[in-house]
Amino acid sequence: MNRLLLPFTLLFIWILLDSCGHPYAPSPPTSGDIYRPIYATYADVRTVQTLAPQPLKNVGKIYVKDKYLFINDVGSGIHIMDNSDPGKPVQLAFISIIGNQELAIKDSILYADNVTDLVALNIANPLNVRLVKRIENAFEYSAYPVATNVRFECPDPEKGVVIRWEKAAIENPMCYR
């Protein structure tokens, strides 16, 4: 009888020990920042246009090409500056690219992300930037905040594309990350 009992006893001990090593997910925080999604339509997101110079707000990477500076304004687009006189750069234009985080330039083509898409822009004339190509859905899309251990209003795909998050006073947010 001990021979039959031994395998079951070992199995029970193994299951008991195995369950001890798995941590449980932390409970959602009960205090701290709460975020609300800001939406845009796909049509608005996919509209890339050259505008008059805009104030620098959320400066990211800077790319130098010939006598120009291309300055990423994270989430908004790219500033173009004439850097002929490095002591006095002159703002020329702003390329509005919603959701833009990164840029790269090869020859006279500027490559940038546009939420989920990759856009190629001809920058030969910085005052008249033209869209050369768009590759839709080139990047993975996450409709959730980058921050973890935060409470937020659940995104609603019916309202459009989440382009950023803002702190807000929300009663009983139902999502947590």
Residues across the chain: 177
99-142 tens-digit pLDDT: 999 999 999 999 999 999 999 999 999 999 999 999 999 998 88
In the numeric block, the tokens 């910085």 are attached to: 126
Please report, for the chain, the start and end positions of each structural domain, with discontinuous segments joined by +: 34-176
List of long-range contacts for 12-18, beta carbons under 8 Å, 24+ apart: none
Instruction: Report the pLDDT value the prediction gives residue 171, as an integer from 0 to 100.
Output: 78
Of 87, 86, 69, give the one whose Cα is nearest residue 78: 69
* Residue 24 pLDDT: 57
| Average pLDDT over every residue of 77-91 | 97
Q: What is the pTM of this model?
A: 0.76
List pLDDT tens digits, range 13-28: 666 566 555 555 555 5
Looking at domain 34-176, which of 3.40.50, 1.10.3470, 1.10.8, 2.40.128 is its CATH number? 2.40.128
DSSP string, 72-115: EETTTEEEEEE-SSTTS-EEEEEEE-TT---EEEETTEEEEEET
